[in-house]
Amino acid sequence: MSLIERLNHSELSALHSPWLRLTPQTMPVRHGLFSRLYRARWLIYELVSRDLRLRYRGSVLGFAWTLLNPLLFMGVYMLVFGTFLHLGFHNFALYLLSGNLAFLWFSGSLNQGTNAILAGRMYVGKTVFPPEVLIFVPVLSGAVNFVLSLPILLIADMLFGQHLGWGIAYLPVLMIGESIICVGLLFFFATINVFYRDFGQLENYLVLMLFYLTPIFYQVQAIPEPYRKIILMSPIAVMIISYRDILFFDSTPKLSAIAYIFICGLLTFAAGHTFFNRYRESFGEYL
Amino acid sequence: MSVEVEGLCKRFRYLAVGKEATLKETIVKRLSRRDSQRRTVEALRDVSFSLGRGQMLGVVGRNGSGKTTLLRLLAGIYCADRGRISITGSITPLLSIGSGFHPELSGRENARIELLVLGMSPKEIDRQMEKIIEFSEIGDFVDAPTRTYSSGMKVRLAFAAAISVDPDVLLLDEVLSVGDEAFKSKCLTAFDGFRDRGKTIVLVSHSAPTIAQRCDSALWLDNGRVAGFGPAPEVVAAYRANAAQRVADMAPA
């Protein structure tokens, strides 16, 4: 039922239990994460759709941006890495695009989500509002964008004679993995950003560095040892490689890769959620 | 009792203006072991009062006396440092009016999100929407972006949305000061309807006459302490006498 339904008598006494110390709060979080999210499902739906509408409202090209954005990036990368630096190989553009779409989702969610709780201060500071909702919204709207931009890749694959097989059935699995990683990281980032407002800038650099350290515009084989081992420890790198197995190489991702993505993702998620819960009650005062 | 507050204390720690927390500064400070310029302010000190069902409480006091802090504590947005709050039933806070509206979204879209935030189901929202639009009297503007609204329009819409939730306890911060006279009397009529149905209202307002006339009881906060609590006309009279005295003291002899 309602979000504020939780403010019934017994719960409020729990919320304001006597003689509680301030910051960081160690208050019991009444409902589990998933029950909170389920209660807020319509709100999440509305906020995601608001996010998508706002992204395209007031722009001449509207929805076409979803498709244009990755194409423009791809054009620049092809020019720089393919033509200027001679890193190109057969169907380089498709290789780039197949990795970069998933990375754009990742970086977009992180950049937007780090600021999510600050940007949603009108809701958090206004009523007892489950702030985790704000963390899921950018990840979900990014997922919608990602899915909507896939047809470009699939059409280009066909045009350039790149055959795609049943491996694509793994796509939802990878997307779930990516969502878990994003939300897990955002539990940390968005929380830190409430208390340290300049964290967002640091986060931008981190994501940019990660872009170069992830095999998006180069191949894994091109990395010399021992760096290759180190790069492959990054779940993001493993994830991009798995996406490419599906969307470029017409194969299926390694099960060990998927397992690795999920283990890293779930650990981040669990740690992030604990961190978030520890500080959530102080949000109201810092916004 | 609908709302019971006992020995409520709230202290804020804040940084001097221009010294907002940044990661860089924190690290620099840790390294240089400079004294951080933290101060504390006692926003509420040992506040107690209680309020029965169907009662309307008016909160008066100077700027910065802790009125809004009290509402935010009641709403569960802040945690008390000490003391106890117990509230029976559901709460709808209507604080920091209109700031919950996204300027690029239409009034209808904003009201929808607002109601979802307050916990209403989409079905119920569809049922209530026309009533809300009618009550707020914003007419065709409802589909225009809220950046084109006047502040009064935003308040009217936010207020109409908040009362449509029909909570057991309604918390209102300075709602009446922005709407025009006609809307104000409409709000006051709505309050009466609420009370008749056994609902409780806590109203923060600088309009002392309104509180004296309409509220059952009043709470006068001064510098975070309760300076008076009791029947509205008496408390408001004491508050106004105090304010007048202060003005007289300030005037050159």
CA distance B162 to chain A (A): 11
Neighbours of A260 (CB within 10 A): 18
User: What chain A residue is nearest to B73 in terms of C-alpha separation?
Assistant: A16
pLDDT on residue A214: 93
Q: At what angle do helices A235-247 and A255-279 cross, to 10 degrees?
A: 130
Give tens-digit pLDDT for A197-245: 889 999 999 999 999 999 988 888 888 988 999 999 999 999 999 999 8
Q: Does B14 touch chain A (CB under 8 A)?
A: no
Q: Does B91 touch chain A (CB under 8 A)?
A: yes
List per-residue pLDDT tens for chain B, 253 residues long. Answer: 788 898 899 888 765 555 556 777 777 766 665 555 567 788 899 999 999 888 999 999 988 888 888 988 888 888 888 888 888 888 888 776 556 788 888 899 888 988 888 888 899 999 999 999 998 888 889 999 888 988 888 888 888 888 888 888 888 887 777 777 888 888 888 888 888 898 999 999 888 888 888 899 999 999 889 998 999 899 999 999 988 888 888 877 5
Q: What is the ipTM of this complex?
A: 0.77
> Model confidence at A257, in pLDDT bands (50, 70, 90)?
very high
Domain covering B1-90+167-253 in this structure, CATH number: 3.40.50.300
User: Per the structure, how many domains does chain A have?
Assistant: 1
Rounded CA-CA distance B83/B89 in Å is 20
Residues of chain A with pLDDT > 90, as a percent, come to 38
CA distance B142 to chain A (A): 16
Q: Which of B89, B100, B120 sits opposite A122 (nearest CB)?
A: B100
Look at the block and give the residue holding tokens 């290789």.
A95
Token pair for B135: 């009550």
Q: Which of B78, B116, B120 sits opposite A285 (nearest CB)?
A: B78
Helix (H, G, I), strand (E, B) or coil at A43: helix
Rounded CA-CA distance A41/A36 in Å is 9
Across A44-67, average pLDDT: 78
Residue A113 has pLDDT above 70, yes or no: yes
Q: Is residue A176 part of a domain?
A: yes
Q: Does B20 touch chain A (CB under 8 A)?
A: yes
Q: Is residue A147 part of a domain?
A: yes
For chain B, what are the domain ranges?
A: 1-90+167-253, 95-166
Rounded CA-CA distance B174/B69 in Å is 13
Rounded CA-CA distance A111/A207 in Å is 8
> Model confidence at A272, in pLDDT bands (50, 70, 90)?
very high
Which residues of chain B does A18 touch, with a Cβ-Cβ cutoff of 8 Å? 82-84
Q: Please tell me what DSSP assigns to residue A164.
A: -
Residue A108 vs residues A86, A101, A124, A208, B189: alpha-carbon distances, Å? 28, 10, 22, 11, 48
* Beta-carbon separation of A126 and B95 below 8 A: yes
Give tens-digit pLDDT for A150-202: 888 888 888 877 777 788 889 999 999 999 999 999 999 999 998 888 899 99
Which residues of chain A does B97 touch, with a Cβ-Cβ cutoff of 8 Å? none
Neighbours of B72 (CB within 10 A): 23
Contacts of residue B126, defined as CB under 8 A and 6 or more positions apart, other chains included, come to: none
Domain covering B95-166 in this structure, CATH number: 1.10.8
Rounded CA-CA distance B55/B87 in Å is 13
Q: Counting beta carbons within 10 angstroms of the beta carbon of residue B156, is it exposed (0 to 12), middle (13 to 18) or buried (19 or more)?
A: buried
> Model confidence at A29, in pLDDT bands (50, 70, 90)?
very low
Q: Which of A16, A22, A47 sits opposite B113 (nearest CB)?
A: A47
pLDDT on residue A61: 67
Which domain does A146 fall in, by range? 48-286
Rounded CA-CA distance B125/B132 in Å is 9
CB A147 within 8 A of CB A171: no
